Amino acid sequence: METVTQPESLPRAVRRRARAEITAEIVEVARRHLSTVGAAGLSLRAVARELGMASSAVYRYVASRDDLLTLLIIDSFDALGAWAEDAERPVPRERTTDRWLAICHGVRDWALAHPYEYALIYGSPVPGYVAPPTTVGPATRVTALLSGVLADLPAAPASASDGAAPDVTATGGAGDGWRAALGPTREFMPAGLSDDVLIQGLMAWMLLFGSVSFELFGHLHQVIDDDPELRRAFFTEEATRIGALVGVPAGAA
Amino acid sequence: METVTQPESLPRAVRRRARAEITAEIVEVARRHLSTVGAAGLSLRAVARELGMASSAVYRYVASRDDLLTLLIIDSFDALGAWAEDAERPVPRERTTDRWLAICHGVRDWALAHPYEYALIYGSPVPGYVAPPTTVGPATRVTALLSGVLADLPAAPASASDGAAPDVTATGGAGDGWRAALGPTREFMPAGLSDDVLIQGLMAWMLLFGSVSFELFGHLHQVIDDDPELRRAFFTEEATRIGALVGVPAGAA
DNA sequence: TGTACATCAGTGAACGCGCGTTCACTGATGTAC
DNA sequence: TGTACATCAGTGAACGCGCGTTCACTGATGTAC
């Protein structure tokens, strides 16, 4: 009766599930610790202590401190991506401006609610830590959302038509090296997009995260009013203008 | 003969100079350590060790580890500011485009040459550390340079004339809160600038540092070609387009 | 010119702490014959 | 149904390390009378 490739015995499956649950609990506690102590101060022992287990026991679930960091990074990228997706989902597909704003605000709201996780993924690299390739997938979820909106724009996205600056395309003497630099981006983007669209898109992406980082890391202190409502209004205006850089119409859709 | 307010005895002055020299040496060593170990890992004991003095001796010069961090932060802002100033200085005043590019490249070059100092001032905040007001002055040097260029633009800076997107000024329904949020900025800028000019300037500023941060913190991996020359060309194009956002002409001046 | 005193850079030991990781082990649970 | 074996979560002690900060002190140098 036993087939040759019996898939997995039941007790083994139970154990595996338990493993996964405890690993999740470890990551969860680590995430909380991150919020008080930062990435560099994160300690396996402290996590174990809070979970009431011997520090050595954690090594059954996590290979090393760096491994735990990796789990946290993936988790954070995923949480941010999911949050932004949730923010966009209820908006009807044709309301591209509102979708764009929803995504931008989604990123900012998540960052404000999870400042240390945001700093973990968009702040200074942890010295001595190298992110493994496992982390790149989750990192692209927001990018995918943003370019999804651009793909749904009615007219030719950006280029000479709307808000974007068209006459800048030809560089002032510096040459065309920047076009070659776009190589890796072109791999991941739908074919046929002009260099101009690509670089404007990248700049919009960097400006979005640059703005959120500046706000979160305190560089808007004594620059933009501290009042949360005003900050939000300022960001809305910013996000609108960022959208305009890539052809998202500014007026209400 | 002795006047009432004798200014300072010579030996006291000598001692003071010695103090300043040793303090500078401590900061210098700390800066080097920063490059291998990051802000969170910076250790007074390690610095003392390298200087060949007892760890307790450092406390004659520096009140605490946080105090040393503050010195490093001020130092870094100053170094970045000086570097950018040096980059702009040789460019003739009327060549505004070249000045703009020189400043942008100055920021980037310094950041690439001093990644950990850059991360110290523009990366994640160090948990538990609060920057004292002493640090704000040096932090504004680059900003001053950038707005200096804008002030020298021939026509009305930005607004409806050139590359910037003019029709975005009126927001799509979100209201005018963002104008109020500009309050602190208006204090530090020459009077008479429109809200539009201010917000575009802020966005240019954030995009400049956002771009440098993204490159330095590894977010351009698999996005922009790794080749340093191509990266530089890409940044030149970016800086040109950032300038266009605030009315810096794109063509060769 | 000489002596009592003040200043102050630097020492070295100590306090009390936390860390990552390894290792031999116990003991419960499942597996194969 | 029963027994020998394998798996594996979890323990607790240990290794070897580094940290920030304090404190009583030495000893050179300058100062005031």
DSSP assignment of A73-90: HHHHHHHHHHHHHHHHTT
Q: Indicate the residue type of A181.
A: A
Contact positions of strand D to protein Cβ (< 7 A): 8-14, 18-24, 29-31
Interface check for B181 against chain A (CB to CB < 8 A): the answer is: yes
Cβ of A50 < 7 Å from strand C?
no
Residue B43 with chain A: CB contacts under 8 Å: none
The residue to which tokens 């009615």 are assigned: A154
- Name the residue closest to the C1' of D10 by its CA: A57
Summarised one tens digit per residue, pLDDT across range A96-138 is 999 999 999 999 999 999 999 999 999 999 888 888 999 988 9
Give me chain B's average pLDDT, please. 88
CA of B59: nucleotide with nearest C1': D21
Q: For the beta carbon of residue B246, count every other beta carbon within 10 angstroms.
A: 25
Inter-residue contact A47 to A26 (CB < 8 Å): yes
Give the confidence band of A15 by pLDDT, cuts at 50, 70, 90.
confident
What is chain A written as a DSSP string? Answer: ---TT----HHHHHHHHHHHHHHHHHHHHHHHHHHHHHHHH--HHHHHHHHTS-GGGGGGT-SSHHHHHHHHHHHHHHHHHHHHHHHHTTS-TT-HHHHHHHHHHHHHHHHHH-HHHHHHHHSSPPTT----GGGHHHHTHHHHHHHHHHHT-SSSSSTTSSSS-GGGSS-SSS-SHHHHHTHHHHHHS-TT--HHHHHHHHHHHHHHHHHHHHHHTTTTTTTS-S-HHHHHHHHHHHHHHHHHHTT---S--
Minimum-distance nucleotide, CA of B58 to C1': C10
Amino acid identity of B232?
R
Question: Tell me, what's the pLDDT at B163?
Answer: 40
| A55 CB below 7 A from strand C atoms | yes
pLDDT of residue A191: 84
Contact, A238 vs B199, CB < 8 A?
Answer: yes
What is the structure's pLDDT at A181? 96
Whether B26 contacts chain A with CB within 8 A: no
Any strand C atom closer than 7 Å to B13 CB: no
Task: Using a CB–CB cutoff of 8 Å, tell me whether A116 touches chain B.
Answer: yes
In chain B, which residues have pLDDT < 70? 1-7, 155-174, 252-253
Which pLDDT score is estimated for B129? 87
Q: What is the pLDDT of residue A175?
A: 79
Q: What is the largest CA-CA distance in chain B?
A: 77
Dump pLDDT digits (tens) for A194-233: 999 999 999 999 999 999 999 999 999 999 999 999 999 9
**Protein residue at shortest CA distance from C1' of D11:** A54
DSSP conformation class of B4: T
- A96 burial type by CB count under 10 A (0-12 exposed, 13-18 middle, 19+ buried): buried
Residue A167, pLDDT above cutoff 50? no
Confidence category of residue A18, pLDDT binned at 50, 70, 90: very high
Q: pLDDT per residue over B207-240, tens digit each?
A: 999 999 999 999 999 999 999 999 999 999 999 9
- The span from the CA of A50 to the CA of A81, in Å, is 29
- Among B168, B213, B222, whose Cβ lies nearest the Cβ of A241? B168
Distance A180 CA to C1 C1' (A): 83
